[in-house]
A and B are shown apart, each in its own frame.
Chain A
């Protein structure tokens, strides 16, 4: 199989509110497109086979595994990555809650968890601990044992209710 600069697809996609137009090979993964083409390195790749969830981003508001998608599949869609949730000076309530509850250690799995949690709390703003754990079951973390992550999600739900 040869890779060439022919057969490039003209991709147009909105990411974190900005529209990007790029020519990409059809086989380029969305995770690689975000990280290498656009230098949005906040989304991390943990397994490249769709199990760990570190690469999760939001496509039209729903979490998807960017390692299991081709960049061309998001043509015409809206993507939100961790960079679009908040900034260092203006953290999203979910991000702030993770800091307060110590819901991260090495931080590698965290971006995928943040996007998953943001989408989860939109559909389930009042979750029980069991529902939180269920919602997190598609994200692997090797550092935290999940306990403080659950605390962070609970705290985030409270914070967002107050808003």
Chain B
């Protein structure tokens, strides 16, 4: 496929609106008569709601209503399960427990909503919420996932026998046989904590019920407007066509905004219908820490079995995973961890069992990486431990085990988060790794620079971490491409956009086929009135899945253009060219017709539309892969540590990314930079500090540390393009890639830097305090 626009560093279509403050975010929606909601949230992590008296709040001037679970009557019921457990794995244990709109009897995490106040403005609503009298009987709090599984542990869900939410095992080959044949078996316990997504825009919902037109409009900071539309229609007893969900410009998603149905998403539309006035709720930052989902901890017991010359024979990874108070999101994260625990290595024997555990904390749902960073951390740490044990250079050990270019498609025989077989479609792993090694100057650094720096007393370490990223999963997405009478092209798709540049990268895909300027393609995402079949933006799938649907739809439109133009210009299709919105005869360029004119002719005012054809220059197409492509990358870092303060400075950071066809290198680099910044956060700065009572002690940006411009290194990004055979674009996803290997990289670099203190890092995140403790012991 000849590419004129795909692969170009094209400026984004959406930027002028965003740069001038004209782009509409959910909190910018301002409707006449709009009311504002504020929530009373439980401060206790585990308690019975003994008494709730909202009478004083109801009487506060400016308050229109106060609702409790009781007040909702038969409209009170839990949210739907979103992702069920895999149907194809035997012996799966899965207890589905979902979140509720307002607490009825028992609170299961601090921040759970107990009552909602609706008032003329947010100031009054918050004033009134303070007047609500709530009495709680506090219960013992379940915080630690290992203790939670002990026989005498209190229960998060009293109707279950234990706090076990789910259990699933996957096997490949025979690990026990591999273990017996191995020369070396290494065991480690690995603890990984992640953190909050902390998008700059907090969540929000605005709902408007038009009683005369019997139509509900909802603006929602969601990554999945279509499932929200369907779910709301079902909950509220409406037809799907009566509900319009709009995800306008969204200020960052990163995962938690695809969690559906948050209590507020269930409540606010219901309130708008009940009160017959528009209702707005915008989350504040403290609420975001308590009431928006996050990723937290896993505890791994890992074993790796190798031959003396470093060939990995098998891997065993059993782990616990914290799901929080409910588990609507199924097993997505831990299954991703399992699927990435072998990394990009040719490991023929694998066994992994995970247990998902309920705790008294906010629900865990995917945050950029969605379980993949944990899997990569496990395998990379074990490879480093093995390298030390066997006395083999850590990079050499990895090279000996990488899946080779001729081994694709590589079938693992286990299933992934989409219940599809884990098949790595394509890749050239050694080339990507080598590019990173060359870019950071690995050999030279190890031989010359590091010894010299160490003589000077500096603690400088180098690290290299390869990784895979499963992307572009189904079920499907769709797109509709229409050439309008103006000659411009209108495109609609079901997924949403939270900054990834869809308005431009998708326009490039379409413009490539339809022969117009990128700026003449208008992309509509996230509005169920424009397109209403699809899933959402997550799992690094937007470009691959929706992009492929766009490519298919645009190709069909291109065919229609040529067919019609051929008829009008009375010339065979092969002799026509399409460029800059005009179809012309190659040898007689003065004979031409514009796309706008063609579009008008395709929509006849007189005459007939022939059977089997459609009016207009429009096509709709869907793309639904059986399984998604797997991207690959290798990061490298040179890090200096001050052994007195244990503060770090990243001296160099190199990324080589292979996500197949790159649609727009500018946008891709931005995604990598952003991912790395979140990965660095997860490695050293960000940590959710809960106390034993389920209280989050750092629920603000003053104490939950996001990296700033002065912490970020300059990142050098290199590309390798191994096209995916799974879609016509040859593309693989890349949205989460930047974040995935960083904790593994950090651990390696820290160990390498503190070479004289024999520190082994089997946990994440680190911090100056923690490094100090590790170095002392």
Contacts and interface: CB of A to CB of B under 8 A. Distances in A.
**In-complex A–B contact (CB below 8 Å):** yes
A44 B715 CA distance: 28
B251 A107 contact: yes
Given A39-B30, A41-B28, A99 B21 contact: no
B692 interface: no
B250 A88 contact: no
A55 to B, nearest CB: 11
A106 B701 contact: no
B667 interface: yes
A54 interface: yes
Size bracket of the B interface: 35 or more
Contact of B21 (A83, A139, A140, A147): A83
Interface in B33-83: 60-62
A91 B16 contact: yes
B588 interface: no
Contact of B123 (A28, A107, A149): A28
A149 B708 CA distance: 12
A52 B18 contact: no
A116 B377 CA distance: 38
A106 B252 contact: yes
Interface string A127-163: 0000011101111111111111110000000000000
A54 B28 CA distance: 15
Nearest to B679: A145
Contacts of B495: none
Interface in A89-123: 91, 95, 98-100, 102, 104-111, 114
Contact of A140 (B19, B200, B501): B200
Nearest to B285: A47
Given A88-B22, A104-B19, A145-B715, A49 B709 contact: no
Nearest to B14: A107
B21 A81 contact: yes
A44 B701 contact: no
B670 A148 contact: yes
A52 B674 contact: no
Contact of B124 (A3, A49, A54, A134): A3
Looking at A40, A141, A145, which has the most chain B CB atoms within 10 Å of its CB?
A145
B717 to A, nearest CB: 9
Contacts of B25: 41, 44, 108
Contact of A3 (B21, B123, B201): B123
Given A51-B702, A144-B670, A147-B715, A45 B23 contact: no
A2 interface: yes
Given A142-B254, A143-B499, A87 B20 contact: yes
Contacts of A109: 200, 251
B499 A105 contact: yes
Contact of B708 (A48, A98, A137): A137
A65 to B, nearest CB: 12
Contacts of B30: 36, 39, 41
Nearest to A150: B709
A40 B252 contact: no
Contacts of B254: 142
Interface in A17-62: 25, 27-28, 35-36, 39-49, 51-52, 54
Contact of A114 (B19, B199, B715): B19
Looking at A47, A83, A108, which has the most chain B CB atoms within 10 Å of its CB?
A108
Interface in B696-747: 700-702, 706, 708-710, 712, 714-715, 738
Interface residues of A, number: 63
A82 interface: yes
A137 to B, nearest CB: 5
A85 interface: yes
Contacts of B674: 105, 142-145
Nearest to B504: A102
B127 interface: yes
B497 to A, nearest CB: 9
B468 to A, nearest CB: 22
A99 B12 contact: yes
A41 to B, nearest CB: 4
A46 B700 CA distance: 11
B642 interface: no
Given A51-B702, A52-B701, A147-B714, A106 B708 contact: no
A86 interface: yes
Looking at B124, B127, B200, B250, which has the most chain A CB atoms within 10 Å of its CB?
B200
Given A44-B251, A48-B285, A106-B499, A148 B200 contact: no
B561 interface: no
B136 to A, nearest CB: 24
Nearest to A100: B11
Contacts of A146: 673, 677, 708-709, 712
Nearest to B501: A105
A87 B20 CA distance: 6
B21 A42 contact: yes
Contact of A134 (B61, B200, B710): B710
Interface string B234-261: 0000000000000001111010000000
A7 interface: no
Interface string A1-17: 11110000000000000
Nearest to A134: B710
A82 B16 CA distance: 12
B500 interface: yes
B701 A102 contact: no
B709 A136 contact: yes
Given A83-B21, A106-B499, A140 B666 contact: no
A143 B709 contact: no
Looking at B199, B254, B673, which has the most chain A CB atoms within 10 Å of its CB?
B673
Interface string B112-130: 0000000001011001000
Contact of A35 (B17, B27, B197, B738): B27
- Which 6 pairs across A and B sit closest by C-beta, in order of nearness? A42-B21, A106-B499, A108-B251, A107-B18, A145-B673, A105-B499
Given A44-B27, A142-B199, A147-B714, 16 more contacts: A25-B123, A44-B25, A44-B200, A82-B21, A91-B16, A99-B19, A105-B500, A106-B199, A106-B250, A108-B199, A133-B710, A143-B499, A144-B673, A145-B676, A146-B677, A146-B709
23 contacts: A3-B124, A41-B28, A44-B201, A49-B700, A88-B20, A99-B11, A105-B501, A105-B671, A106-B250, A107-B249, A107-B251, A110-B19, A111-B21, A133-B712, A140-B200, A142-B199, A143-B670, A144-B673, A144-B674, A145-B672, A145-B712, A146-B673, A147-B714
Interface of B: 11-12, 14-25, 27-28, 30, 60-62, 121, 123-124, 127, 197-202, 249-252, 254, 284-285, 498-501, 666-667, 669-678, 700-702, 706, 708-710, 712, 714-715, 738
